[in-house]
Amino acid sequence: MTDFPSALKAWRRMRRLSQLDLASEASVSARHIAFLETGRARPSPDMIGRLGDALQIPLVARNQMLTLAGFAARYPGRQWDAAEMAPVRAALDHTLDRHAPYPGIAIDRLWSVVRLNAPARRLFGQIGLVEGASLLDLMMSERLPTLIENWPEVAHHAARRLRTESLAQGGIDRLDQVADRLAAVEFNQKPMGPVAPTIYRFGPSRLSLFAIIAQFGTPEDVALDDLKIELFFPADAETAQALRAMNT
C-alpha cells in the first residue's frame, strides 16, 4: 500500500465492507468514499480518524494512513520508562501483582513478553519465558509439545487466535507464519468444557490453566493499542493448591 487510496481500499476489502457499508459506518456519502479510493478527493485528518474507527484500524496503521495522505502521524509510540507512561505502568503492575498466587503476563502485538508477575516468573521461567522473550519463538520450538500434555488442542486454539489477531491488524506475516505451523499439528475435535485449558507437565507436577485476556480500553499510544494482559487461573482444585504452595 503505497498511497492513501490503495490503503483505504485494502482495509475496506479486508473488513469485507462495500463502499456503501463503509459510508454508512463513517456517516459520509458512498460517492465520497469512491472519490477517496480513486484519489479524486483528499481526506482530512478528521476523516481519516472516522474511517479508522469505522474500519477498526489499529493505531500503527492509522499513522501510516495519515502519512500517506500527507499528514503527520498522530499516535506516538512512547517508551515504557517515559514519565507519561507512569500511570499505565502502575495499572499494569497493580493488575499483575494482585493476581498472585496465580501467574499473569503482558504481551505486545508480536507476542513478546512485556511483564510477568512473580508467580509467572517462577512457573514460566522453567520454560525460558522471561521479559523480552518471544512467545512466538517458544511456540515454534520443539520444547512446548514435550511440556504441554494437550499440545494438539492448545496448538489448534493458538492458531485460531493468531489468525484473528493478524487479520485485525491488517495481516502480520510473523503471526500468520506461526499460525500455519500450529495449524499443521494434527488435532481431533472432541467434546470440551466451557474453556480449553493448557495442561503443563513440570516433572511430577500437572498444572491445568486457562486465561482471561484484558486490554486497555482507550489507547492513544501505539505501544498500548495491542498490549494484552493474560491472567491465568487454575482449571481444577489440584492446580489451585499447587500454585498457592509454589508461591508461599
Confirm whether 74 is domain-assigned: no
The total of other beta-carbon atoms located within 10 Å of residue 233's CB is 18
Confirm whether 235 is domain-assigned: yes
Q: What is the pLDDT of residues 10-29, one digit of tens each?
A: 999 999 999 999 999 999 99
**Co-location of 57 and 10 in the same domain:** yes
Confidence of residue 163 (pLDDT cuts 50, 70, 90): very high
* C-alpha span between 158 and 17 (Å, rounded): 27
**Co-location of 149 and 55 in the same domain:** no
Confidence of residue 175 (pLDDT cuts 50, 70, 90): very high
Region 165-180: mean pLDDT is 94
Looking at 26, 41, 68, the residue that finishes a domain is 68
DSSP assignment string, 174-192? HHHHHHHHHHTS-------
Give the helix ranges, DSSP H, for the chain: 4-14, 19-26, 30-38, 45-55, 59-68, 86-97, 118-124, 135-140, 144-147, 151-168, 173-183, 222-225, 237-246
pLDDT value at 248 more than 80: no
Q: What is the pLDDT of residue 209?
A: 97
Q: Check which CATH number belongs to the domain holding 58 and give it.
A: 1.10.260.40
Region 103-128: mean pLDDT is 94
**Co-location of 233 and 187 in the same domain:** yes
pLDDT value at 187 more than 90: no
Confirm whether 78 is domain-assigned: no
Region 132-158: mean pLDDT is 93
**Co-location of 218 and 159 in the same domain:** yes
Q: Taking a C-beta distance cutoff of 8 angstroms, is the pair 147, 202 a contact?
A: yes
* Alpha-carbon distances, residue 138 vs 86, 133, 143, 220, 240 (angstroms): 30, 8, 7, 30, 25
Q: What is the pLDDT of residue 247?
A: 78
How many structural domains is the chain composed of? Answer: 2
The pTM assigned to this predicted structure is 0.89
Q: Check which CATH number belongs to the domain holding 135 and give it.
A: 3.30.450.20
Q: What is the pLDDT of residue 102?
A: 97
* C-alpha span between 102 and 124 (Å, rounded): 12
For the record, the C-alpha cell of 89 comes out as: 505502568
What backbone torsions phi and psi does residue 221 show, to the nearest 5 degrees? -135, 135
- Share of residues in the chain with pLDDT > 90 (%): 86
Q: What is the pLDDT of residues 78-105, one digit of tens each?
A: 998 899 999 999 999 999 999 999 999 9
For the record, the C-alpha cell of 219 comes out as: 489507547
Looking at 43, 68, 93, the residue that finishes a domain is 68
Q: What is the pLDDT of residue 1?
A: 59
Confirm whether 24 is domain-assigned: yes
Q: What is the largest CA-CA distance in the chain?
A: 67
Mean pLDDT, all residues of the chain? 93
Region 154-183: mean pLDDT is 95
Q: Please choose, from the candidates 145, 129, 7, 134, the residue with its C-alpha nearest in 3D space to the C-alpha of residue 65.
A: 7
Region 132-142: mean pLDDT is 94
- Share of residues in the chain with pLDDT > 70 (%): 99
**Co-location of 148 and 28 in the same domain:** no
Task: For the chain, report the end-to-end CA distance as a whole number of angstroms.
Answer: 53
Determine the structural domain holding residue 157 and report its residue range: 83-246
Q: Please choose, from the candidates 212, 204, 198, 211, the residue with its C-alpha nearest in 3D space to the C-alpha of residue 148.
A: 198
